[in-house]
Amino acid sequence: MTSPTDGRARRLPARFAFTLVEVLLVLAILGITTVVTMPYLVKSIRGNRLRVAANSVVRAGRYARSMAILGNREMVLSFDTAKATLQVAPYRSPQAAQPDARATSPQPPTPSTDPVSPQDGASSAAPPITITRELDGVRIESVQIANRSGASGGIVAVLYRSNGRCTPYEVRLVDERDAAIRITVDALSSASATREDR
């Protein structure tokens, strides 16, 4: 005589599996979802490149301002419109390199690639690090600096003074689909970005 528990122990557990119809149905749903969402995903990635580039410009300005104040030295934020790069470096005046040179017109500030010693009375902290950033998938269409006429091209430099102030400037970034963003920086180095959709 067998007990009821022995009968249950002898039964094989039922096997659970997906049928071919169920697998094909799931694959069809995934395919339709991918086709519908792909254009939105691509648009989001392209828009993200523009936001990242604008964020890089704002952060580079903040870095230049911070290093100018902390190191008690002037810093230069330069934009290369041809290569779509920006660079923050210590400032070296042309008069310091050539003490007898007489400037006939004001020269834009130039970044120094040489190690810079602090200015008179400055702390002997380590010199700031020079940073260079290439903007991916975005071009620098124009850089306009206050008190300079017209849109500037080529390499444009903005001087950040040791008190944290700079000449107000405006940078316009454009991606490959002609979406644009305009970054405006005032004399106190406060930045604002405005999206320009076409």
Q: Does residue 4 carry a pLDDT above 60?
A: no
What's the pTM value of the predicted model, to 2 decimals?
Answer: 0.64
Is there a contact between 109 and 97 (Cβ–Cβ < 8 Å)? no
* CA distance linking residue 157 with residue 120, whole number of Å: 24
Lowest mean pLDDT among 91-95, 140-144, 175-179, 188-192: 91-95
The phi and psi torsions of 45 (rounded to 5 degrees) equal -65, -45
Q: What is the mean pLDDT of residues 49-75?
A: 91
CATH superfamily of 20-95+108-196: minor pseudopilin epsh domain (3.55.40.10)
* CA distance linking residue 170 with residue 165, whole number of Å: 15
What distances in angstroms separate CA 2 from CA 5, 6, 11, 12, 13, one per listed residue? 8, 6, 14, 17, 20
Instruction: Locate the domains of the chain by residue range.
Output: 20-95+108-196
Higher pLDDT, 2 or 44: 44
pLDDT digits (tens, 9 = 90+) for 161-185: 999 899 999 999 998 888 899 999 9
pLDDT more than 90, % of the chain: 33
Sequence letter at residue 88 = V
What 3-state class would DSSP assign to 51?
Answer: helix
The answer to whether the Cα torsion of 48, 49, 51, 55 is positive or negative is positive
Among residues 114, 73, 80, the alpha carbon closest in space to that of 97 is found at: 114
